[in-house]
Amino acid sequence: MRKKVIQTFLLGFGLIGAVAVAWRLVSRLRPFPCPPWLGWLLENPLTRGMNANLLIRRAGLKPGMRILDAGCGPGRVTVPAAEAVGEKGEVIALDIQPAMLDLTRKRVKAARMENVRYMLSALGENMLPENRFDRAFLVTVMGEIPDKLAAMQEIAASLKPGGVLSITEILLDPHYQSLKAIRLLAHRVGLIESAVYGNRFTYTVNLRKPLSEAVHA
C-alpha cells in the first residue's frame, strides 16, 4: 500500500514537472497567462508556500480593507481575502481571462461572499482607480505580464499611501521572477520593501507605498 502511494506521488510529481517544463519553454517565446484548464497546477502539495491563508496573514489583511487580487485566476486568494476584510471591506478580483473570472465567481458564490467585485482587464493599461486599495496581491502573475514596469506603476498608483503590494513567486512556475528582478521593478516605481518571507523556491515580498503619494515615473 505504501509503495503504491509513493508511486502515485512520484507519478503526479513527474506529471507536474513535465507540464511545467513544457510551459516554461513555450513561455520564453511569449509570456501568456495560465489557461483555466491548468489551474490545478496552482493547487497541489508542491505549492504549499502559496497557501492562501498564509498569504493573507503575510499581507496583514484587516476588516474593512479594500483589496486588489490582480491576476486572480480561479480565486484561490479572492475568497479568503473577502472573508478576512468582512462585509465592510471589498475585494476586486481582476483577470484578463473571462473563464478565470467565471471560476472565481463560482468560488465566491459557493462561499456566499457578497463583498467581491470583478474586473476584466490587463494590468498596465491604467484602468485601476488611484489611491483606492489598502493591499494588492500578485501571486505567480508578474512573469505573465508583457509590460511589467507599466503594471507595477499602475498598481503602485492604485494603492493608498502606506498600502502594500504583496508579490508571491514559486520556482515551479514557468514565469518565475527572481526576488532581484522584483526589487528592481519596485525601486523604479518607488515602492519600499517592508518584508520578505520564504526562500528561493517560494517567497513572498511585501512592498509598501510611501506615505507621501509621489510614485516614480
List the grid coordinates of 113: 461572499
Adjacent-strand bridge partners of 208: 164, 192
115-142 pLDDT tens trace? 999 999 999 999 999 999 999 999 999 9
* Res 88 pLDDT > 80: yes
pTM over 0.85? The answer is no
Residue at 120: amino acid letter: L
pLDDT higher at 87 or 12: 87
Burial letters 102-140, b for 16+ CB under 10 A, else e:
ebbeebbeeeebebbebbebbbbeeebeeebbbbbbbbb
Delimit the domains of the chain by residue range: 32-208
Class of domain 32-208: alpha beta
DSSP code per residue over 151-212 = HHHHHHHHEEEEEEEEEEEETTSTT---HHHHHHHHHHHT-EEEEEEE-SSEEEEEEEPPSS
53-80 pLDDT tens trace? 999 999 999 999 999 999 999 999 999 9
* Res 38 pLDDT > 60: no
- Cα(166)–Cα(195) distance, integer angstroms: 9
Q: How confident is the model at residue 112 (pLDDT cuts 50, 70, 90)?
A: very high
- Cα(139)–Cα(53) distance, integer angstroms: 13
